[in-house]
Structure 1
Amino acid sequence: MDLTATGAALAGVATILAVAVWRVRQPWRPGRLWRIPWNAVMALALVALMGLLAHLVSLLTGQPIEPRALR
């Protein structure tokens, strides 16, 4: 992925995270049968956001980020 695609993906994941945070803060209405697990969506979006931020840093610095276990 180049810098443009990474920025677009980062914006998309940040939008999903913002919607999930907004939906988690809304009160639950009793009687609803099906509900999207917004806490899980928020957790997955945070993991994706951290990965994309690490990828963005590696693109900007020119050095790949290596996990400690693989050194």
Structure 2
Amino acid sequence: MGIAKKEILRLLAGGEKTGLEMVQASQILRCGTVYVHLSQMMDDGVITAREDDGFRFHYSLAPSQPPAFPAPCV
């Protein structure tokens, strides 16, 4: 698994996010490629997407997918 996909898993371990939110929260992900990775990860069953308003998708880890990284201690 590549660096970008690992970054997506890391971000989604913290909860549901849009593609733009992931790009803004990352130094690795770029607008031009994040949606290609998200599409591939959905096809692989690693993540799921929920359509918000016919325009925006919210991505999350698939129910069977354990978080890639442990949640931070509070």
Measured against the shorter chain, the TM-score band is under 0.3
Provide TM-score, normalisation by structure 2.
Answer: 0.25
Structure with more helix by fraction: 1
Q: Which has the larger radius of gyration?
A: 1
Provide TM-score, normalisation by structure 1.
Answer: 0.26
